[in-house]
Structure 1
Amino acid sequence: MAGLEKIKSQILNEANVTADAKIEEAKVQAEKMKLAAQEEGTRQAEAILKKSEAEITSYKERVKSSIDLQRRTRFLEAKQGMIAEILEKAYEKVTNLEPDEYYKLLLSVLEKHVLPQEGEIYFSVKDLENMPVGFGKEIEQTAQAKGGKLTVAGAGRDNIENGFILAYGGIEENCTIRAMFDAKRDELSDIVHRLLFV
């Protein structure tokens, strides 16, 4: 019996030694896994942090860009508003010129637009009523100088605010002051822009 107990005791001792060795090995493995998991966790945390920092930086840049764009847009709108206001004041100044200056202006516009054809010239009711004596003759002479003939229409047109309309064979050319300003709006805007902002 004593031999059996001894064998049993030896088997138990060997089992304990093996178990202790396996437990130690398992502890070492667990520690390695724990360290690896901590390293992986740290690495992932750093990656998430870097990604978050990059996203924050990108967001800040987008916000700054958006603010800059809004500021530039508002500044441009303000500039355009100022230019439009100045052009409108210039238009009003031209339309409110003294009669002598106003009709000289109309004559210079006519010189640029009269054709070497026979036609009619229409004025607003107001301009027709205030027309200086002899202005009709100046219109005829201006047309003749270009090889044409113009007749001043006897009745003023309600749809003309100022300036005139030339009519040649059913084709009309709008030479009102507003039409002249509108046709030159881009050019005039550029001039005002250069005077104010450059």
Structure 2
Amino acid sequence: MSGLDEILNLIETQQQQGEEMILKAAKSKAAAIKAEGDKKAQTAYEDFLHRAKEQTEKDFENACNSADADVKRRILSFKVGLIDEAVEKTIAKLKSLPDSEYFQLIIKLAERHSQPDKGVLSLCSKDLARVPADFESRLNECVKKTGGSISLSKEAADIEDGFILSYGLISENCSFRAIIESEKDEIRDTAARVLFSR
């Protein structure tokens, strides 16, 4: 082998060694970049999963709270509806009492609202037409404890049931609906206890 061939072989060997070193360094650098990229990707993936899990839990909790609030609103609405229905049935039942019981109720209510003065009681036209003959005397028998008296008006009041009780310029609407409205909270509380207590 000539000197030139040896030199060429040496150059080729050195070139191959240089290429191998460059390739090895490049592969090592690529592996390091890939490892760093994989690590960053894994960290980003885990962070995304953590945030997604937290958001999912928040969304689930919010959905549960919203559903719970909606159910409570619906239950409350249903209860209020039942109470209002019970009130309406009570008013209807009071209106349909037999005459003797109906006018006895009117007397009790008038006694409760009476004052120690001269009052005038006005009934609706339907009740005025069916008022018992002894109604006014029975009424005054009950209210005399207060030191007052009540006369029955011959004029019909513009109400559906119950009565209007007037003392001079002051009048009190004692129709069943007006009484229930004035004592609405207490009546609803009582109805709720009866309907929903266990």
Residue 128 of structure 1 deviates from its aligned partner by: 1.4
Residue 55 of structure 1 aligns to a residue whose secondary structure is: helix
Gaps of 5+ in 2: 1-9
Instruction: Tell me how far 1:134 sits from its aligned partner.
Output: 1.6
User: Is 1:177 aligned to residue 160 of structure 2?
Assistant: no
What secondary structure, in the 3-state scheme, does the structure 2 residue paired with 1:166 have? strand
- Paired residues of 1:119 and 1:166 also in contact (CA < 8 A): yes
Moved more, 57-66 or 123-132: 57-66
Amino acid of the structure 1 residue aligned with 2:125: V
**Structure 2 CA distance, aligned partners of 1:144 and 1:90?**
29
Question: Cα distance, 1:94 vs. partner?
Answer: 1.0
Question: What is the identity, as a one-letter code, of the residue corresponding to 1:38?
Answer: D
Aligned-residue offset at 1:163: 1.1
| Cα offset, 1:168, TM superposition | 1.5
Q: Could you say if the C-alpha distance between residues 193 and 138 of structure 1 is closer, same or farther in structure 2, counting changes exceeding 3 Å?
A: same
Aligned residue type for 1:129: A
Stretches of structure 1 lacking an aligned partner (at least 5 in a row): 1-9
Distance apart, 1:24 and its partner CA? 4.1
Paired position in structure 1 for 2:7 = none
Q: Which moved more, 1:56-65 or 1:92-101?
A: 56-65
Q: CA deviation at 1:34?
A: 1.9
State whether residues 94 and 102 of structure 1, in contact with CA within 8 Å, keep that contact through their aligned partners in structure 2.
Answer: yes
Name the SS of the counterpart of 1:155 in structure 2: coil
Answer with 108-117 or 146-155: which moved more.
146-155
Aligned with 1:48: secondary structure?
helix
Letter in 2 for 1:179: A
Cα deviation code 1:143-186 (max 9, x no counterpart): 433122322212112x1111111111211111112212222332
Deviation at 1:30, TM superposition (A): 3.1
Aligned pairs (5 A) from 1:104-183: 104-157=104-157, 159-183=158-182
TM-score by length of 2: 0.82
Bigger Cα displacement from structure 2, 110-119 vs 23-32: 23-32
Computed over aligned residues only, the root mean square deviation of the Cα atoms, in angstroms, reads 2.9
Q: Distance in 2 between matches of 1:38 and 1:102?
A: 89
Secondary structure of the structure 2 residue equivalent to 1:133: coil
The answer to whether the 8 Å contact 1:91/1:181 transfers is no
Alpha-carbon displacement from aligned partner over 1:178-198 (angstroms, at most 9, x marks no partner): 212222332222223222322
Identical aligned residues as a percent: 29
User: What TM-score do you get using the length of structure 1 for normalisation?
Assistant: 0.82
Equivalent AA in structure 2 for residue 66 of structure 1: S
* Alignment match, 2:49: 49
Q: Distance in 1 between matches of 2:196 and 2:140?
A: 44
Deviation by residue 1:76-107 (Cα, 9 ceiling, x = unmatched) = 22222122212211111111111111111111
Indicate the larger mover: 41-50 or 187-196: 187-196
Hey, what does 2:5 align to over in structure 1? none
1:1-198 → structure 2 map (5 Å cutoff): 21=21, 24-157=24-157, 159-198=158-197
| Greater mean alpha carbon deviation, residues 183-192 or residues 78-87 | 183-192
Instruction: Provide the rounded CA distance (Å) in 2 between the counterparts of 1:100 and 1:190.
Output: 30
